[in-house]
């Protein structure tokens, strides 16, 4: 018996003082100590069946963790593996389970193996992490603008669950959040392939929740995510207005955090600016580390472009690369789009050099983009509503009220439109913020403004222009 294994019988003895004899016999009498790894931070146990594993994790997680920490104080992760026992030992296990027959009849659907198998139709198997193989640190370009967050990410990988938990990364779209998020997942998996890692956009997370709710399998849904060692949630801003989902996510977050399981979240805005997200969730997002990924300056864009040009095997002059970096200053994704267009042109004309004239044609849509971007300075719901009320000579109470005068309706529809297009808020969350309106009313009003813009309605275009100018001045 190894030194670490020597303490396992003491863990079992402690468990016997916390649960009944029949419960212990049914679920813990065949639990085997396998090893303690990762410098004493992780204990690996073995059980005879998936049923046994899910029942322990679902019903006795607290008792098991307390007993383990009493004799293995450094352990922060517990992994339960399925091990096959000799047939001679299988009947005693079934005999033990019979002691709990009455409990099983009244327990939730989590206790039934067929239900656990059933939910796999919309919840991926344990070994499916959804990580994109192209998003790794090998092709993540470190620049001055993202050096800080990259160092933070490396620290989190080294001290998973204990250094910064959660890690909340925010930046405007197209600056590499998704790449960094998945690169962290790949690196953790490389260090310890046994870890259960799940990457998913928040919309996918919500869709899974919706199916679980529809099938009345919420306990199974929560149990599934309790088993995750590293949860990577992309674009958390899309949970705005989804109150029922936020409540469930709040509990999943708490359960993972209490078990020192790492949570990493990305967003297109800081946690405090997530309008329509419960305050208690925002507070938890800020528990660990909130870090931004700043927009790269021209020097950083040149570094990124040169790396991508080399990887794509493109032949461009330094002047051409410099021109792209100067004109495409919005985000990395758009720079990649330009390089892809260049690559397509080169393929259509094999054996010919890519000319400056061709590049100027590709960059034409970016000539006046800087002027447009200045109008997209950071705005808030209050500043937008105040500005529109000022332009229409209205009070906030008028806008939030039920009046339907033509002037008032147009002002309200413009507010819907600005909240949707400038702040990227969901229709339900906009409805709540503007007098508790139904999301279909908001959608109809916003789309009506889209139509008026398309029809070049002078009054609407003028109001939009003036609203942007006032917001920019402030």
Model confidence over 52-63: pLDDT tens digits?
A: 788 788 888 888
Instruction: Determine what percent of the chain is predicted with pLDDT higher than 90.
Output: 26
Over residues 69-83, the mean pLDDT reads 86
Same domain, 52 and 76: yes
Do 226 and 305 share a domain, yes or no?
Answer: no
- Per-residue pLDDT band at 473 (split at 50, 70, 90): low
With residue 285 as reference, give the H or E element that holds it. Answer: helix 279-285
Residue 474 pLDDT > 70:
no
pLDDT at residue 85 is higher than 50: yes
CA nearest to 276, candidates 424, 388, 379: 424
Total number of domains in the chain: 4
For residues 167 and 236, state if they share a domain: yes
- The mean-pLDDT minimum among 4-18, 235-249, 307-321 falls in 4-18
User: Quick one: 310 and 272 in the same domain?
Assistant: no
- Report the side by side order of strands in the sheet with 42-47: 32-37, 42-47, 77-82
Same domain, 174 and 225: yes
pLDDT for 347: 84
Three-state secondary-structure class, residue 77: strand
- Indicate whether 274 and 410 sit together in one domain: no
What are the strands of the beta sheet with 197-201, ordered from one edge? Answer: 197-201, 230-234, 262-267, 167-170, 289-292
Report residue 109's pLDDT band, with 50, 70 and 90 as the boundaries: very low
105 band by pLDDT with thresholds 50, 70 and 90: very low
Q: What is the pLDDT of residue 126?
A: 67
Q: Of 366, 400, 415, which one is at a domain's C-terminal end?
A: 366
pLDDT of residue 119: 47
Q: Beta partners for 42?
A: 37, 77
- Residue 232: predicted pLDDT: 96
Whether 123 is covered by a domain: the verdict is no
- Helix residue ranges per DSSP H, 328-438: 332-348, 356-363, 369-374, 381-391, 396-400, 406-423, 427-433
Q: Mean pLDDT over all residues of the chain?
A: 83
Contacts of 263 (CB under 8 A, 6+ apart): 165, 166, 167, 231, 233, 253, 256, 257
Helix orientation angle between 8-16 and 61-71, rounded to the nearest 10 degrees: 130
Residue 130 within a domain: no
Whether 108 is in a domain gets the answer no
Is 189 within a domain?
yes
Average pLDDT over residues 161-177: 90
Q: What is the pLDDT of residue 117?
A: 43
Residues 6+ positions from 186 with CB-CB distance below 8 Å:
131, 133, 135, 136, 137
Q: What is the pLDDT of residues 263-302, one digit of tens each?
A: 999 998 888 888 888 899 999 999 988 888 888 888 999 9
Confidence of residue 183 (pLDDT cuts 50, 70, 90): very high
Q: Are residues 307 and 183 part of one domain?
A: no
pTM of the predicted model as reported, rounded to 2 decimal places: 0.55
Confidence of residue 410 (pLDDT cuts 50, 70, 90): very high
Least confident of 86-100, 360-374, 412-426: 86-100
Separation between Cα atoms, residue 45 and residue 15, nearest integer Å: 15
* Res 13 pLDDT > 80: yes
- What CATH number did the domain enclosing 91 receive? 3.30.300.180
Query: Does residue 374 lie in a domain region?
Result: no
Q: Is residue 121 part of a domain?
A: no
Given 270, 292, 314, the domain boundary residue is: 292
CB-CB neighbours of 76 under 10 Å: 20
**Would residue 223 count as lying in a domain?**
yes
208-260 confidence digits (pLDDT tens) = 888 888 888 888 888 889 889 999 999 998 888 888 899 999 999 999 999 99
Q: Which of 292, 313, 328 is the last residue of a domain?
A: 292
Residues 389 and 303 grouped into a single domain: no
User: Do 341 and 226 fall into the same domain?
Assistant: no
- For residues 135 and 121, give the distance between their C-alpha atoms in angstroms, rounded to a whole number: 26
pLDDT beyond 50 at 154: yes
| Distances from the Cα of 467 to the Cα of 91, 374, 381, 460, angstroms | 76, 13, 13, 10
Q: Tell me the CATH number at 259.
A: 3.40.50.300
Residue at 107 is within a domain: no
185 has pLDDT over 90: yes
The winner for highest mean pLDDT among 198-202, 212-216, 333-337 is 198-202
Task: Inform me whether the pLDDT recorded for 114 exceeds 70.
Answer: no
Q: 352 is in which domain, residue-wise?
A: 298-366
Instruction: Provide the pLDDT for residue 421.
Output: 86
Model confidence at 401: pLDDT above 90? no
Percent of residues in the chain assigned helix, strand, coil, to nearest 5: 60, 10, 30
Beta strand ranges found along 114-185 (DSSP E) = 167-170
pLDDT tens by residue, 91-100: 344 444 444 4
Please name the helix (run of DSSP H) or strand (run of DSSP E) that holds residue 66, with its range, or none: helix 61-71
Shared-domain flag, residues 286 and 420? no
Angle, nearest 10°, between helix axes 332-348 and 318-327? 140
CATH number of the structural domain spanning residue 325: 1.10.8
Tell me: do 179 and 150 sit in the same domain. Answer: yes
Residue 101, pLDDT > 80, answer no
Are 258 and 307 in the same domain?
no
**What is the structure's pLDDT at 90?**
44
């Amino acid at each position: 018996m190894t030194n670490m294994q020597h303490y396992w019988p003491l863990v079992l003895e402690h468990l016997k003082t916390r649960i009944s004899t029949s419960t212990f016999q049914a679920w813990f009498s065949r639990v085997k100590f396998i090893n303690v790894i990762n410098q004493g931070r992780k204990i690996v146990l073995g059980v005879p069946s998936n049923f046994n594993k899910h029942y322990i994790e679902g019903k006795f997680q607290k008792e098991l963790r307390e007993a383990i920490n009493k004799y293995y104080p450094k352990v922060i992760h517990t992994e339960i593996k399925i091990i096959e026992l000799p047939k001679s030992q299988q009947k005693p296990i079934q005999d033990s389970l019979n002691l709990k027959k009455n409990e099983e009849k009244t327990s939730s659907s989590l206790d039934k193996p067929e239900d656990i198998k059933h939910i796999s139709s919309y919840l991926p198997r344990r070994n499916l992490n959804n990580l994109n193989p192209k998003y790794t640190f090998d092709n993540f370009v470190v620049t001055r603008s993202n050096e800080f967050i990259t160092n933070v990410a490396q620290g989190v990988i080294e001290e998973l669950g204990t250094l910064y938990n959660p890690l909340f990364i925010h930046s405007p779209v197209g600056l590499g959040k998704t790449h960094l998020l998945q690169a962290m997942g790949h690196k953790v998996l490389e260090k310890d392939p046994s870890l259960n890692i799940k990457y998913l956009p928040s919309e996918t997370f919500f869709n899974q929740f919706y199916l679980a709710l529809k099938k009345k399998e919420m306990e199974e849904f929560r149990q599934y995510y309790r088993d995750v060692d590293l949860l990577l949630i992309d674009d958390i801003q899309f949970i705005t207005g989804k109150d029922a989902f936020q409540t469930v996510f709040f509990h999943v977050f708490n359960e993972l955090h209490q078990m020192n399981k790492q949570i990493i979240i990305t967003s297109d805005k800081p946690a405090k600016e997530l309008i329509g997200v419960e305050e208690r969730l925002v507070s938890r997002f800020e528990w660990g580390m909130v870090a931004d990924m700043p927009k790269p300056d021209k020097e950083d864009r040149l570094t990124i472009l040169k790396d991508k040009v080399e990887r794509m095997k493109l032949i461009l002059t330094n002047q051409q690369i410099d021109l792209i970096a100067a004109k495409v200053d919005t985000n990395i994704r758009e720079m990649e789009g330009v390089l892809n267009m260049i690559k397509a042109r080169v393929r259509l004309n094999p054996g010919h050099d890519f000319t400056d004239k061709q590049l100027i044609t590709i960059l034409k849509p970016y000539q006046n983009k800087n002027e447009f971007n200045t109008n997209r300075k950071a705005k808030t719901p209050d500043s937008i509503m105040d500005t529109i009320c000022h332009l229409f000579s209205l009070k906030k109470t008028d806008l939030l009220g039920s009046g339907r005068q033509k002037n008032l309706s147009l002002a309200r529809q413009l507010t819907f439109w600005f909240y949707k297009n400038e702040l990227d808020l969901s229709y339900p969350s906009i409805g709540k913020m503007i007098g508790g309106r139904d999301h279909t009313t908001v959608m109809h009003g916003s789309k009506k403004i889209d139509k008026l813009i398309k029809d070049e309605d002078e009054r609407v275009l003028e109001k939009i222009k003036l609203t942007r100018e006032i917001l920019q001045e402030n």
